[in-house]
Amino acid sequence: MAYDDILQHLGGFGRYQRRIYVLLCLPAISCAFHKLAGVFLLAAPDYRCRLPYELENASYPLPAERLTLAYPIDTLTKKYSTCNYLDANFTEAYWNGGTPAAGVRPCDQWVYDRSKFESSTVTEWDMVCDRNCLRASADSLFMVGVMLGSIGFGYLSDKYGRKPIFFASLVLQVVFGVLAGVAPEFFTYTLARMIVGATTSGVFLVAYVIAMEMVGPNDRLYAGVVCMMFFSVGYMLTAGFAYFIHGWRMLQIALTLPGILFLCYWWFIPESARWLLSNGRPTEAIKLILKAADCNKLTVPQEALDKLVEEDKDQQHQQEMSNEAKPSLLDIFKHPNLRQKALLIFFDWFVNSLTYYGLSWNTNNLGGNPLLNFVISGAVEIPAYSFLLVTLNRWGRRTILCGCMIFAGTMLLTTMIVPASEQWLIVVLAMLGKMAITSSYGTVYVFSAEQFPTVIRNVALGASSTSARVGGILAPYFNLLGDYWQPLPLLIFGALAFIGGVLSLLLPETHNQKLPETIADGENFGKRKTIPGGSGDAAGDCDIERTAEEMQVLSKPTTSGDPSEPPVDGTAAKEKY
């Protein structure tokens, strides 16, 4: 592509690109605040029924002898019930054991242990017992917003430009982030948070696209992974806010206000030159290119600029003249090999998202210090992404994806045999699983992009992203199961990750191979064929595994040139966040 040639004349990843890139990575920190804030905004501390004789400011601890006489044993958890209390008059005679309880009554008020979490939406609106699912629904609807935002803001940024949609999303994020902090009841809070979730797509993903469109092909892997590290920094900083701000309303507002700083980007961040070219505005694009060249103290040859304009005109003309029906997602399911690969990839996306967000939001249930657990959960992402930088282009995509998913599954399943008294070991195993699934999640986008043929790649990746969003939407409900048995969410995540890793061995390796272009290429890519006339068995046939390069020859007997397309390295964050 001519624009990639222009980037080479600009020094690939020159001073101008680096400056804009760093500025555009910073919003990832703010978006991490909103995505992980639910861990503290929806924190559920220990609680018990408030007994009829207790005042509103009653303290949580009760003497052991009174617990026995006040609450029945929950048959499921084998602990004192937190949703029922014994129906008694709680007089001195009763406490002394002279009056039996008349039965069991459901709670209508609760006393919370505020030693770890001073206040949260759970304690303010009593989202416990039969209202417990509201906690999960709040996070789940936030992810619904993320899914809708990735669709809506993605479309708007393609139509109206990256820059205006970035700032529109930023304004909405600040407004509704503050609104969530002053919401008078659960419905308003959840609706505001859902809109904030949608804006994280508009802010981070659009900024990410602008940044990656300015980076040359050779630097995209590193640029994409480093951008994800900014998200991890925001992940850990969220715990810092929670450490100093104990009220959930002030915490929500404090996590929102840094977004105001990015409004000054209007004077620093340019529109995407690629977008300007694709929308028939080459004069503005060339102006930006020359500005970048001047900043980098380089000169772009006039013939390169002329070639860029001509290629843009040719592409627009071809689009106008083309009357061919474009392949749809349904075409994938009409071919058995493509269908099998697509279903495996969709399952991998679902499992990676479910496990990643499930573990990220489950740190309060691991035991020990919840703030420390949260920081560790964010910190392990840095080595996970560093691992990808070193190995992704050396070991192959399938090896890393399968290995990381199987390792994550093994670590999480191992928590089943850890004694409840060894909480530190459960935390260690969970964090190892989180580190591995982070690497896996960073790999699955690149691997998926290389599996699908060019004519259907964007549509197929969109379907993959939807599978991931479904995993994120369901993750909070799986975490609720930890209220009944602490290791249960980890076991479910571990089992799914392990199964996904094993099944992914059925996918063909794509590293250092030409990408499939047509539906026929995609169907044949990785398929084992029998070629008559070979040697090595009695029938004179031999089994070989088709490579993408061979498929180019088989599906296009009269080709000219090399129709391969470079992988979309480093763009995992676009769908993940």
pLDDT tens track for 497-541: 999 999 999 988 887 777 677 788 778 877 754 444 444 444 444
284 and 392 both lie in a single domain: no
183 and 309 both lie in a single domain: yes
Whether the pLDDT of residue 28 is over 80: the answer is yes
192 and 246 both lie in a single domain: yes
235 and 141 both lie in a single domain: yes
In a domain, 373, yes or no: yes
Burial class (CB in 10 A: 0-12, 13-18, 19+), 319: exposed
152 and 247 both lie in a single domain: yes
Among residues 316, 350, 376, the one where a domain terminates is: 316
257 and 342 both lie in a single domain: no
21 and 56 both lie in a single domain: no
**Whose CA is closest to 491, among 425, 442, 433?**
433
154 and 282 both lie in a single domain: yes
- 203 Cα distance to chain centroid: 15
Band (pLDDT 50/70/90 cuts) for residue 143 is very high
User: Can you tell me the distance from the alpha carbon of 22 to that of 32, in angstroms, rounded to the nearest whole number?
Assistant: 16
In a domain, 573, yes or no: no
Among residues 291, 316, 341, the one where a domain terminates is: 316
Whether the pLDDT of residue 96 is over 90: the answer is no
In a domain, 570, yes or no: no
In a domain, 577, yes or no: no
Q: What is the mean pLDDT of residues 108-127?
A: 92
Q: How many domains does the chain have?
A: 3
User: Can you tell me the distance from the alpha carbon of 488 to that of 492, in angstroms, rounded to the nearest whole number?
Assistant: 6
In a domain, 293, yes or no: yes
Band (pLDDT 50/70/90 cuts) for residue 323 is low
- Residue identified by tokens 């001519």 is 2
**Whose CA is closest to 472, among 312, 322, 338, 361?**
361
Contact, 268 vs 278, CB < 8 A? Answer: no
Domain residues for 78? Answer: 47-113
Whether the pLDDT of residue 136 is over 60: the answer is yes
In a domain, 557, yes or no: no
370 and 450 both lie in a single domain: yes
What's the pLDDT at 559? 36
Assign residue 236 the CATH number of its domain.
1.20.1250.20
Torsion of CA 544, 545, 547, 553, to 10 degrees: 40
343 and 306 both lie in a single domain: no
User: Can you tell me the distance from the alpha carbon of 277 to that of 272, in angstroms, rounded to the nearest whole number?
Assistant: 9
332 and 373 both lie in a single domain: yes
Residue 530 dihedral angles phi and psi, to the nearest 5°? -105, 120
Band (pLDDT 50/70/90 cuts) for residue 551 is very low
Whether the pLDDT of residue 344 is over 90: the answer is yes
Among residues 316, 350, 384, the one where a domain terminates is: 316
- Looking only at the bridges linking them, the beta strands covering 528-531 and 84-86 are unpaired
In a domain, 536, yes or no: no
Count Cα neighbours of 153 within 13 Å in the Cβ-side half-sphere.
34
Q: What is the mean pLDDT of residues 372-387?
A: 95
61 and 162 both lie in a single domain: no
In a domain, 491, yes or no: yes
